[in-house]
Structure 1
């Protein structure tokens, strides 16, 4: 009797015997149907919780997309980007801002020094020796032309980027010449723009002017043309007309 029981138990726990046993009903479609019904059954608690979860996914995707757009805008206004990954962009932006702060302190110190200098030391004597005057030659004419060209704003690059939330970033790169920083500020003030903040820095004979302006995305191209026209009009006013009296 014990041998018969042992044999039946042995056959019962064999894989083939186990699957063929009458008492076990195996339905292959059961896991898939349960998974599908669990996903689409709106009456179940899991189905009700899937809607907030999907909203969270969409919200997170939008947040990351907005963050990437702002990183791209930040990368466009920072002149020296070492690498294209997020950490490098932020690190280079911090270094750039620190450089701007250093230049700002340097300019403020120069302004204070100029303000403290007596006006008498800045005045020029109007007395001159008439005997030293010589007729104007072609060489003198070239010097006058070169002198007038140094007063112009020579723009190397102009970029207008939309950052989002009605904020436009204008980045102007130009050659460093006499009073170029002051002239750029005068141009932007004359355009009557809604300027939020601006930064000026000088590096390797060039000037980088970054201006944050309140504007809509649709105004991007109009704003670019407005700035180009303003700089061109300013250069025209700075080109002196040569008169006969100025030659002697």
Structure 2
């Protein structure tokens, strides 16, 4: 290429670069704004993904699903929760009308919808002696007995067990209102001497 033509070409290139210099600088600044926009966009995507995951988990419970839209799923969930709350209130009302089996407590429903208990004095509860004997394994038995607190009563209990060849392996006892409730685990060492009917009869004579 001739020298003059080459110089003219270089001058034209310099002119174009000078003219486009400011525009190129503006273009370089665009990614900075786009960077902030992309951060917000990623956060929005994560939020939507999280919400969609929760909706899918809600649908997977299979309690009720009239439609597959998000709005229907939320409305169905709200309706179902209200039904459960209503059933809970109805059951609490029924429970408040049923006296306790032991006669010790009777529930009532307060104005706030919570259960309260009315305590009956323990002296008003009529206690009586009781003996329960049931097998729990090979040569092993569960013994529950309620008897009046008398001097030497527990010693007589152990003597009765010893007479039929039974050995105590665990014991738990609690006293209340003049009575004692004792729970024992016993193991029979001498099967020939042991008789459930005989042992129960002896214990009933104690209570």
Fold match (TM-score > 0.5):
no
Structure with greater strand share of residues: 2
* TM-score normalised per structure 2: 0.35
* TM-score normalised per structure 1: 0.30
Bigger Rg, which one: 2
